[in-house]
Amino acid sequence: MKKKQKSFKFERKKNWHDNNFFQVAVVLVVICLVLFPVFMFFRTNLIGFVVWQAGNQSSFDEGTYANVFYNTTGGFLQLNTTETSGTYTSVVFDAESNSTWNNMSWTETLATQVRLIVVDGQADIWKSVDSGANWTLVKDDYNNGESNNAIYMLSDSNDYLYTVEDDDD
């Protein structure tokens, strides 16, 4: 008897992930996009979604000024010219529910102060910080009366003052 030969045909069966890979990936991305905001919403230390901005005087006038004022020309808080420090306390904001304020920050730009410095005929050094309206004596007779012939004066970025005299010492 002759044996009958069997022939085998191999076929690869399609798995579920062959056809559905793209669909599964899309579903996972959508789930992540939905769950992430929900997770962030229920965190107890969430910060960064509250912005307080007062861009006019009526907004600032709700607070308390001490040695500062609202500069209406520039639209900013400014230190009184006769003071060296000051504070502004804003109005208390109602969060309308229990809240924790974890961080508050601000951005500020300090104005450049214009100073005038002069030497008079008696070798006294004077300065003005209000464009020459008022003068303050910085150093009385800087050279102890040796010579009062200062012809040049300059200062460097470290606020050192240099004078050049027209004499031989």
74 assigned to some structural domain: yes
Beta strand pairing call for 125-128 and 116-119: antiparallel
| pLDDT, tens digit, 9 for 90 and up, residues 49-61 | 556 666 677 877 8
How does residue 96 score in pLDDT terms, banded at 50, 70 and 90?
A: confident
136 assigned to some structural domain: yes
Amino acid at 115: R
96 assigned to some structural domain: no
* 1: pLDDT strictly greater than 70: no
Q: Over pLDDT 90: what percentage of the chain?
A: 0
Q: What is the largest CA-CA distance in the chain?
A: 140
* 138: pLDDT strictly greater than 80: yes
Number of domains observed in the structure of the chain: 2
99 assigned to some structural domain: no
Residues 111, 115, 117: CA angle, nearest 5 degrees? 170
Please indicate, yes or no, whether residues 121 and 161 belong to a single structural domain of this protein.
yes
Residue 140's domain comprises 116-165
105 assigned to some structural domain: no
Backbone angles phi, psi at 146, to 5 degrees: -60, -50
38 assigned to some structural domain: no
Helix (H) or strand (E) holding 38: helix 16-41
134 assigned to some structural domain: yes
